[in-house]
Each structure stands twice: as C-alpha cells, then as structure tokens.
C-alpha cells in the first residue's frame, strides 16, 4: 500500500504522465500554520535546471484541496494535488520491450498489462514531488528540528558538475551518494524493538525510486572497528557524545546527538546507449534506448529535498507518538 506512518499517516498517488500526483496526510493536528506557498517553496528546490537534470519543466504549483482553512490546518485529512503540465509522452519504450533497470517487466507481470506505462507510470521519480509536498506539511510540525541534506558524490567523484558532464557526453548516467543530518531531535523518539527510528528512516528512504542503500552513522565502517573505537564516549547527562559513530540512534531511540544517515542512488536507468532486452511478444532478443526522452543524467542532484521530506515525515510521526505518551519526550 502507498501509505506510511502510524499517527502522522501519508499516502501518495499519481503517475508520471497522468493528470498529476498527490499526497494525502492524516493526523496533522489543528492550528498549524500552513499554506500553498510553504509547500511550493520545497517543491521549487526539487525542480530541474542544473546541468544533468531533465528538460521537463513542471511548475509544480500545489493545490491544497482539503484540511486547511484560512492558513491553518483544521485537523481533518489534508489533500495536496500537483498537476502534471509538461507531461508529454516522450521516450516511452513500447510495453513489449521492457527497459533494463526500469520496472516495466515486473509491472507487466504484476498488473497484467493494466498499469499505466507512460514515463514509468507509478514507478517514476515524478512521484517524489508528492513526497516533498507531504514533507512540507511534516516540517510545519517540527519548527525546532533542523533537517538538511546534500550531495556528497556522483559517480564516485566530488567534482559533481564535471562528472555529470562527462557521463552526458558519453550518453550515459550516474548514481550518487547523499547525506542527511537531523539536528535537535528530542531524546527517546522511536519504538523499539520492531519500529525503531532508524529502521523507519531506512524504510521510507529506500522507498524513494532509485535509492539502493541506507547507512546510519559510521555505517559499514563499523564492521572493521573494535568496540573501543566504535563506542561513542558520553560527555553529558543529556546524552551528548564525543563522537557520533552511532549516527544519533541507540537501541532504536534518538540519543540527543544529530541523526546522520547516507543513501546511495543507482544511475538513472534511462540512457541513450542501446541496451539489451527481449521482445515480450516473440521472446527474441532486441535492443532499446531512451535517446528521445527527457531524463535526468543524475537524479541524485535533485534528491536532497526529497530525503529531507522523507525524514520530516518520519519525525512528525514519532513526535505525535511522543505526545501520545508512547515515549517520554525530554
């Protein structure tokens, strides 16, 4: 199901080339200041324009259709809709020739040919616009928490623009490495054992199309450390530590240090280079490419605001759980 959360519940709908994409948010308390301008400000950060991003130009003007009155939430479910206004059907591979790296084949098998295939349909990164809109609502509940993400590398390199330019010249694409930091998260947010805060962050981040790994704190490096190196020395009764190898989480609970995580994205699967596939009608080998489409050469460049939105949605849910008494907020 396209929903997440326990008290702050978010649902996502829409397709890449359909009428639009939308977010449905339930559980937002009444009286929270919110308007379309606040949501649009976050959506603007996701829009293309930098070299290596798509030529598709969506204005991404959100419409709040319910749950807000005179600039404040009402306590009723919030529905935000974003029209697709530049949704020309370009670069769509015939359904009989599934594109490598895309969900064409599994969607065909799962939905029997009834899924909307245009531009990737419901599997497209276009739906992250709806996630960003929901994240903007979540941010309104978290004025004291600072959420920021950045791109660290693309294609294994830190000179981002040069790496992307070389890939584009070759008709190819790149993946990326991003980092997100959450500051001033209260101690004790999380629901161990089966709903820890780090697992929920990982779940939502890995739901973003193209994200393939999640790493908290020192992550994989912990496997080569000794306990004397990995343990974070405690400095204060608040829980602040000298190092942050744990990434701000102990036992599934936030521990007063910044929560720091990284994600890696795969290269954009839509590339101009011909790729091998099979014809679903004949079963014979064939080739396909995305040379006529409008695709990001590196969609990681547009992902920081999406990661921030995912984190905000998770934090808003745990904040409401804390208020409900599931954990003691300190």
Asked whether residue 330 is assigned to any structural domain, the reply reads no
CATH number at residue 132: 3.60.150.10
Q: Exposure of 44 by Cβ count < 10 A (0-12 exposed, 13-18 middle, 19+ buried)?
A: middle
Q: Hey, which residues does 78 pair with through a beta bridge?
A: 25
Residue 15 lies inside a defined structural domain of this protein? yes
Which SS3 state, helix, strand or coil, does residue 301 take?
Answer: helix
Q: How many helices (DSSP H) and strands (DSSP E) are in the chain?
A: 7, 15
91 close to 295: Cβ distance less than 8 angstroms:
yes
Gap between the Cα atoms of 263 and 150, Å rounded: 11
pTM: 0.94
Over 90: is that where the pLDDT of 326 sits?
no
For the four alpha carbons of 312, 72, 126 and 305, in that order, the dihedral sign comes to negative
The whole-angstrom separation of Cα 226 and Cα 219 is: 14
The verdict on whether omega for the bond into residue 74 sits within 30 degrees of 0, i.e. cis, is no
Tokens 């739901």 found at: 207
Q: What is the DSSP string of 84-104?
A: -SS----SPPPTTSPPTTSSH
Within a domain: 214: yes
Q: Span 260-287, mean pLDDT?
A: 93
Domain span at 93: 3-323
Tell me, yes or no, whether 329 lies in a domain.
Answer: no
At residue 327, the pLDDT reads 45
- What is the spatial order of strands in the sheet that 146-154 belongs to? 146-154, 176-183, 259-265, 211-216
Q: How confident is the model at residue 51 (pLDDT cuts 50, 70, 90)?
A: confident
Contact 182, 311 (CB under 8 A): yes
pLDDT digits (tens, 9 = 90+) for 277-311: 999 989 999 998 776 667 889 999 999 999 999 99
Average pLDDT, whole number, for the chain?
92
Whether the CB-CB separation of 173 and 268 falls below 8 Å is answered with yes
Cis bond upstream, residue 193 (ω within 30): yes
In a domain, 45, yes or no: yes
Phi, psi of 241 (to 5 degrees): -120, 165
What are the residues whose beta carbons fall under 8 Å from the beta carbon of 114, sequence distance 6 or more?
A: none
The two structure tokens encoding residue 141:
């509940």
Q: Report yes or no on 31 lying in a domain.
A: yes
- What does residue 211 show for φ and ψ, rounded to 5 degrees? -80, 130
- pLDDT category, 201, cuts 50, 70, 90? very high
Q: Average pLDDT for residues 48-55, to the nearest whole number?
A: 87
**Is 294 within the bounds of a domain?**
yes
Residue 162 in tokens: 């040069």
How is residue 324 written in tokens?
């409900």
- Give the three-class secondary structure for 158: coil
Q: Which residues contact 147 (CB under 8 A, 6 or more apart)?
A: 139, 180, 181, 182, 183, 308, 311, 312, 315
| Contacts of 172 by beta carbon, 8 Å cutoff, 6+ apart | 267, 271, 272, 273, 297
CA distance 179 to 52: 20
Domain tally for the chain? Answer: 1
Q: Which two tokens stand for residue 224?
A: 């080569």
Confidence of residue 174 (pLDDT cuts 50, 70, 90): very high
């Amino acid at each position: 199901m396209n929903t997440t959360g326990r008290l702050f519940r978010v649902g996502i709908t829409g397709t890449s080339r359909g009428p639009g994409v939308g977010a449905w948010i339930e559980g937002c308390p009444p009286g929270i200041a919110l308007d379309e301008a606040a949501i649009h400000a976050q959506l603007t950060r996701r829009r293309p324009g930098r070299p290596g991003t798509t030529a598709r130009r969506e204005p991404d003007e959100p419409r709040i259709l319910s749950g807000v009155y005179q600039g404040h939430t009402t306590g009723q479910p919030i529905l935000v809709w974003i029209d697709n206004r530049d949704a020309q059907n370009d670069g769509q591979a015939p359904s009989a020739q599934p594109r490598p790296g895309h969900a064409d084949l599994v969607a065909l098998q799962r939905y029997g040919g009834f899924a909307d295939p245009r531009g990737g349909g419901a599997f497209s990164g276009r739906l992250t616009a709806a996630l960003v809109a929901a994240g903007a609502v979540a941010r309104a509940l978290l004025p004291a928490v600072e959420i920021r993400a950045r791109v660290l590398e693309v294609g294994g390199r830190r000179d981002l623009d040069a790496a992307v330019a070389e890939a584009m010249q070759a008709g190819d694409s790149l993946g990326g490495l991003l980092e997100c930091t959450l500051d001033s998260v209260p101690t004790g947010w999380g629901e161990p054992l089966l709903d820890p805060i780090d697992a929920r962050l990982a779940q939502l981040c890995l739901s973003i199309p193209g994200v393939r790994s999640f790493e908290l704190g020192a992550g994989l490096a912990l496997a080569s450390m000794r306990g004397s190196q990995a343990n974070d020395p405690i400095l204060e009764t608040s829980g602040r530590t000298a190092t942050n190898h744990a990434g701000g989480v102990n036992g599934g609970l936030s521990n007063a240090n910044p929560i720091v995580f990284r994600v890696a994205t795969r290269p954009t699967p839509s590339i101009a280079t011909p790729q091998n596939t099979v014809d679903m009608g004949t079963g014979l080998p064939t080739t396909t490419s995305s040379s006529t489409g409008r695709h990001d050469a590196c969609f990681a460049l547009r992902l920081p605001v999406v990661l921030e939105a995912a984190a905000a949605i998770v934090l808003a849910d745990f904040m409401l759980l804390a208020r409900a008494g599931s954990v003691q907020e300190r």
